[in-house]
């Protein structure tokens, strides 16, 4: 029965992916978009700590660190959804926008007592906004209407090997693909002429990551976990078309006057940065756990010829190395309780701070926030199937220096179905 439920969810999910709107943030327009490939709902409840497994039973897939799947003993199917509501503040103005999308679809399983594997889909980056910028420093104010949509997706697979009962290593391989569209219309007050700048990019390429986890059981069921990952920087194809035209209006009709520039490049490539993460956790088995994580991303390596020559004159952007710090944990009152369901619930919480990967007008765009999560057991008590919920409140940017401040509230829900699919029959 569970297999039929999973099959139905997969078909519905694949149809829904086509119409997703993943972002409304103006900051998603820089680089290759706003990064999304980070964590599942469990990890989202613990401030996004993803270098180590956030499931106390080990029965969920971790695609960020493939070596964090050493304890996986059942087939795990996951489908996750995310929604965000964001308030944008600019000077004395406020706007609100919301998004909702499928954030993960994956299947993971044990290959043997010492190895595990899995494959899945996630959004990798997203671009989506509709912003009017006004430069009033000149005698005639200059208006720039900016719109964008699209993003990059990833289909990926991992393999993990338990070298010893305490040490595991893993590798993840992903194929990145997707399209990004941007449009900027520039006009001057009092003038009838407008400039239209259209950019369409198609991305594709591969990305690889390595991971390791050391898991040491101490006295009295205490446990120490240490993990690390390294995501290799990679070049991906960035085929693009760049068109700049000028036009005017005759009543309500647009009249194309001239093509200023046209460029089409099938051989362009974008350089993605490398990323390193380190994490450590200490806790008591099936009771509590506290973890800390640091991530570093070399965004100063980022190169994208599509936009290097065509930055809007209204904003000066520079990519810089970034880092992210997070602290989180979970607590289970009594995992084996038969009297109270809520004693078996996993309660998660965390806080994080992120130094952004780009500067705008010579100021770095940082973010910070707090999370709260719940792991609700479902189905059989011995298979670890779970409904996970995570809430996140955060802030990014500032209203200073002619920038935009975002206050956002995020909601995630993830379904983990666990079962033994490939067990040999003892009696036919």
Write down the pLDDT at residue 308.
54
Write down the pLDDT at residue 10.
47
Write down the pLDDT at residue 316.
65
400 burial type by CB count under 10 A (0-12 exposed, 13-18 middle, 19+ buried): exposed
294: closest CA among 52, 127, 107, 123?
Answer: 52
pLDDT digit string, tens, across residues 192-246: 788 888 989 999 999 999 999 999 999 999 999 999 999 999 999 999 998 888 8
Instruction: Please state, in angstroms and rounded to a whole number, the distance separating the CA atoms of residues 260 and 45.
Output: 50
Q: Are 170 and 210 in contact (CB under 8 A)?
A: yes
Write down the pLDDT at residue 219.
92
Handedness of CA 63, 64, 66, 71 (dihedral sign): negative
pTM value? 0.88
30: closest CA among 316, 323, 400, 238?
Answer: 316
Write down the pLDDT at residue 4.
43
Task: Please list, in sequence order, all residues whose beta carbon lies within 8 angstroms of the beta carbon of residue 201, skipping any fewer than 6 positions away.
Answer: 179, 180, 181, 238, 239, 240, 306
Task: Please list, in sequence order, all residues whose beta carbon lies within 8 angstroms of the beta carbon of residue 7, skipping any fewer than 6 positions away.
Answer: none
Write down the pLDDT at residue 9.
45
Q: Block means of pLDDT (10 residues each) for the chain, length 428 residues?
A: 46 46 72 81 95 91 95 94 89 84 94 95 89 70 83 96 97 96 83 84 96 95 97 94 85 76 90 96 96 96 72 63 96 92 96 90 88 91 85 91 88 92 55
Write down the pLDDT at residue 137.
65
Write down the pLDDT at residue 424.
54
């Amino acid at each position: 029965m569970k297999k039929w439920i999973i099959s139905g969810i997969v078909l519905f999910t694949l149809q829904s992916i086509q119409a997703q709107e993943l972002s409304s943030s103006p900051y998603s327009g820089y680089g290759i978009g706003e990064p999304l490939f980070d964590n599942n709902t469990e990890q989202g409840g613990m401030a996004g700590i993803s270098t180590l497994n956030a499931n106390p039973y080990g029965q969920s897939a971790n695609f960020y660190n493939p070596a964090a799947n050493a304890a996986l003993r059942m087939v795990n199917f996951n489908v996750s959804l995310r929604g965000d509501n964001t308030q944008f503040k600019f000077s004395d103005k406020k706007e609100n926008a919301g998004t909702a999308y499928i954030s993960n679809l994956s299947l993971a399983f044990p290959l043997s007592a010492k190895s595990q594997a899995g494959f899945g889909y996630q959004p990798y980056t997203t671009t989506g906004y509709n912003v009017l910028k006004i430069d009033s420093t000149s005698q005639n104010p200059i208006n720039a209407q900016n719109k964008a949509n699209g993003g990059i997706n990833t289909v990926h697979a991992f393999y993990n090997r338990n070298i010893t009962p305490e040490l595991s290593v893993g590798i993840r391989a992903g194929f990145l693909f997707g399209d990004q569209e941007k449009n900027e219309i520039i006009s001057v007050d009092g003038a009838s002429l407008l400039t239209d700048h259209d950019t369409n990019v198609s991305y594709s390429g591969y990305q690889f990551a390595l991971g390791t986890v050391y898991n040491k059981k101490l006295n009295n069921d205490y446990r120490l976990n240490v993990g690390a990952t390294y995501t290799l920087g990679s070049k991906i194809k960035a085929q693009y078309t760049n068109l700049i035209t000028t036009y005017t209006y005759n009543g309500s009709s647009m009249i194309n006057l001239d093509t200023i520039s046209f460029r089409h490049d099938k051989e362009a490539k974008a350089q993605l940065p490398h990323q390193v993460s380190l994490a450590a956790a200490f806790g008591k088995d099936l009771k509590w756990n506290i973890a800390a994580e640091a991530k570093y991303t070399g965004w100063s390596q980022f190169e994208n010829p599509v936009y290097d020559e065509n930055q809007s004159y209204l904003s000066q952007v520079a990519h810089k190395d970034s880092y992210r710090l997070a602290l989180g944990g979970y607590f289970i009152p009594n995992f084996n309780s038969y009297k109270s369901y809520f004693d078996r619930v996993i309660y998660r919480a965390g806080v994080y701070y992120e130094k952004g990967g780009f500067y705008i007008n010579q100021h770095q765009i940082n973010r910070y926030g707090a999370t709260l999560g719940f792991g609700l057991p479902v189905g059989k008590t011995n298979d670890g199937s779970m409904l996970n919920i995570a809430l996140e409140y955060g802030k990014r940017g500032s209203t200073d220096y002619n920038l935009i401040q975002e206050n956002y509230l995020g909601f995630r829900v993830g379904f983990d179905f666990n079962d033994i699919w490939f067990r040999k029959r003892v009696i036919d």
